[in-house]
Amino acid sequence: MHYSEQYIVKNKIQSWRLIEELGLNTFPYILLDKFDETKLREFLESAKKTHTCDAFGFRSLKESGSKIFHFGMDTDEVMEKAKKLQHFVAYGFNTETESKKILCGEVMIDEPYYMELSATVSTDPKDTARSALCNPTTRFNGSLLHDKKIKHMVRKTPGLEEVIDFMCEKDLIGIATEFGLYSEPNGIKKENLLVFELRTDF
């Protein structure tokens, strides 16, 4: 049984909970139902010390594609902009490591035996996984085993084979996986690949 048959991910809160449950690597983060100055400030300071984060972001968990999305802020900006938020995630990252991004975007493996997959990805290190979905350097869908064009596109896209191998290893079949792949260890588990969102039904 694949994870997609066990889990229905209907919203961003369920996505973060599933990332936790599966023990996947991601940015250091905190989920908050409402603005809590003490908890948020403690998280920001801890992320600085423990994970050498020097920039932060947050996004609303209420809906997919929400316009409430900020990336690359300092501590004071986060504290100010988050005051009126409810149901949001705040996360931290290191800007030097972020510049060493190899690939980001979204991949979904629909059928494992014939390797039916779709990919919307970017090799531009300035892109986030979210912006890569709007301005990808590579986009395709088809069978990795039976379509020579797809096989060629996968091979020529830096890091994409590694992402596909990771998803097969973790059994992320039938789950759209938003990710970032880096040239050096990153995130809470100090691995090269980070998962930012898992989706089945949103």
Interhelix angle 160-169/148-156, nearest 10 degrees: 100
Q: How many domains does the chain have?
A: 1
**What is the pLDDT averaged over residues 173-188?**
96
- Supply the pLDDT for residue 25: 98
Q: Per the domain annotation, does 163 fall within a domain?
A: yes
The C-alpha angle with vertex 105 and arms to 9 and 71, in degrees rounded to 5, equals 90
Is residue 151 assigned to a domain? Answer: yes
- Inside any domain, residue 144: yes
pLDDT (0 to 100) of residue 100? 96
pLDDT in tens, 114-128: 689 999 999 999 999
Burial class (CB in 10 A: 0-12, 13-18, 19+), 33: exposed
Query: Could you tell me if 201 and 9 are in contact, meaning their C-beta atoms sit under 8 angstroms apart?
Result: yes
Per-residue pLDDT reduced to its tens digit, 81-101: 999 888 999 999 999 999 999
Instruction: Give the model confidence (pLDDT) of 149-174 as tens digits.
Output: 999 999 999 999 999 999 999 999 99
Whether residue 40 lies inside any domain: the answer is: no
Contact at 8 Å (CB) between 55 and 72? yes
Identify whether 92 is part of a domain.
Answer: no
Q: Is residue 75 part of a domain?
A: no
Question: Is 62 within a domain?
Answer: no
Task: Give me the pLDDT at residue 1, please.
Answer: 59
Q: Say if 11 falls within a structural domain.
A: no
Q: For position 114, what pLDDT does the model report?
A: 67
Domain harbouring 124, CATH code: 3.30.470
pLDDT of residue 3: 62
| Structural domain range at position 185 | 99-199
